Amino acid sequence: QNLPLLQKYCGYREDNIPQLEDVSQFLKSRSGFTLRPVAGYLSSRDFLAGLAFRVFHCTQYIRHPSDPFYTPEPDCCHELMGHVPLLADSSFAQFSQEIGLASLGASEDEVQRLATCYFFTIEFGLCHQDGELRAYGAGLLSSIGELKHALSNESNIQKFDPKTVMEQECLVTTFQNAYFVTTSFEDAKDKMREFAKTIKKPFDVHYNPYTQMIETLDSTDSLTNVIDNIKGELAT
């Protein structure tokens, strides 16, 4: 449902590469997310931390025309066609931020496990819809070559279980050795949320949408302030 809006307001056309600033402004008006240009891959911790602030780090280059159906690194096609339409959805934006918040204060091992689960859902996830196998991962939606492979009889498709997924190797220069499927897209989000709750951290955090800052919940007073703010929002 967001693609027609992106075509109308951001110049999504076959003969045009949309400007990231235009797309960023569109996203902010729809879900509060903004795009921040980067040259390439970030560390898992830095990428997930960006999500906590509703910032999506976005590459700027376009894949070479000699290989239009696959790119080993995320490019504009991957970001703009795979990620942006989902980030424009307020529910998915909230989910993405929750994953980012879960990474703050976590150990390196926990961050890597969270990033791996993110990789095999938001990047390469499969789900069932109306009795058919569908792809929702941005890495699949932006790569015709890997999409055909993932949906073929040759691919290794397993039921999504975070304990299994976190042990899977994330491949960035070739097709994945395995793909993971859930009963629905909502089921994938629910399983990721449940996994995020198991991450042990020395403190909890809360995002204040008014100040756009992360607040640490490390005392009774800070927790009371958050509860009071929520009560105030419900009363208005």
Task: Report the catalytic residues.
Answer: 78, 83, 123, 142
Q: How far apart are CA 193 and CA 121, in angstroms?
A: 12
Residue 57 assigned to a binding site: no
Closest CA to 177 of 159, 198, 150: 150
The verdict on whether residue 78 carries a ligand-binding annotation is yes
Structure tokens at 100: 């980012």
DSSP 177-203: S-EEEESSHHHHHHHHHHHHHT---SS
Is position 83 annotated in a ligand binding site? yes
Residue 74 Cα to chain centre, angstroms: 13
C-alpha span between 207 and 226 (Å, rounded): 10
Q: Which residues belong to the annotated binding site? A: 78, 83, 123
Q: Which residues belong to the annotated binding site for Fe cation? A: 78, 83, 123
